[in-house]
Amino acid sequence: MNSEPARCHSGNERLIVQKLHCPWCGDRPDSEFTYYCTEEGVAGTKSRKQQDQHDRIYLRSNHVGEHVEIWQHTFGCRGWLRVVRHNLTHTISKIVRIDQKARVARS
């Protein structure tokens, strides 16, 4: 056995946890993406009443299971995405453009 004398690529140095499929760019390492918020936290999704706004910003359900999340392909095309992610297994089951709807599988 010998050590393969290969050149080292020092590109993005963060630990690549997984690949995400950007609808515009294809498969990219997750270090190019940033999580922004869950879908239920997005402004305009609740009534404008003070209590509803409070709940939207501070009281998210955070249940175990799949969530629709808002991500950005920050170090790529800067497009916004809806990402369906399981918060226990980190499995990402679906990624769509922000103008498309994403549903969570019933658990």
Partner 1 sequence: MTQFFRNQTGGLIDRAQRLSFRFDGNRFEGFKGDTLASALLASGVRLVGRSLKYHRPRGVFSIGPEEPCAIVSLGARDNVQPNIKATLVELADGLIAKSQNRWPTIEVDVLSVNDHITSLLAAGFYYKTFMQPKRFWPLYEKLIRRAAGMGKASTAPDSNSYERRYAHCDVLIIGAGPAGITAAQAAASSGAKVILVDEAPAPGGWLRRERLIINGLPGHQWADQALVELQERRNATVLSRTTAFGYYDHNLIGLVQRIGGEVVERLWRVRARQVILATGAIERPIAFANNDRPGVMLAAAARGYLNEFAVRPGKRAVVFTNNDSAYRTAIDLQDGGVDVAAIIDVRADKPGSRLIEAMGERDIPLDRGSVVTRALGRRTLKGVEVAAYSPGFISRSRSISCDLLCVSGGWSPAVHLHAQSGGRPDYDESLCTFVPGESKQAERSVGAARGRYRLSECLEDGLNAGRETAKDCGFKPDDSLYGPETALVELSASSIEALWSVPTTSRRAKCFVDIHNDVALKDVRLAHREGYDSVEHLKRYTTLGMGTDQGKTSNIIGLALLAEMREQPIPKIGTTTFRPPYTLITMGVLAGHDKGPHLKPVRRSPMYAQHEKLKAVFAPNALWQRPQYYLINGTTAKKAVARESLAVRNNVGITDVSTLGKFEISGRDAGAFLDRIYVNNLSSLKPGRIRYGLMLREDGMIFDDGTLTQLAADRYFITTTTGNVEHVRQHMEYWLDVVWSDLDANLIDVTEQWAAVSVAGPNSRRILDRVLTETDLSADVLSHMRCTTAKYNEIDARILRVSFSGELAFEVYVPSGYGGQLWQQLIEMRKEYEIVPFGMDALEVLRIEKGYIGVGSEADGRVTPYDLGFGAVINLAKDFVGKWGLGRPALHEADRPQLIGLEPLDGRSPIGVGAQILDEPASEGTSIGHVSSAATSRILGRPIALAMLRGGRYRKWDTVYVADPLRGREPVPARVVDPCFYDPEGKRLKM
**What residues line the site for partner 1 (CB under 8 A)?**
1-4, 6, 8-10, 13, 15-19, 34, 36, 42-44, 48, 50, 53-54, 57, 70, 72, 74, 78-80, 89-90, 98-99
- The nearer residue to partner 1, 47 or 62, going by C-beta atoms, is 47
CB of 105 to partner 1, least distance (A): 18
Q: Based on CB atoms, which residue is closest to partner 1, 42 or 104?
A: 42
> How far does CA 95 lie from the centroid of its chain?
8
Q: Please say which residue, 70 or 96, places its beta carbon nearer to partner 1.
A: 70
CA 41 – CA 24 distance, rounded (Å): 24
Indicate the helix (H) or strand (E) that contains 57: helix 50-58
The residue type of 51 is Q
- The H or E element spanning position 40 is none
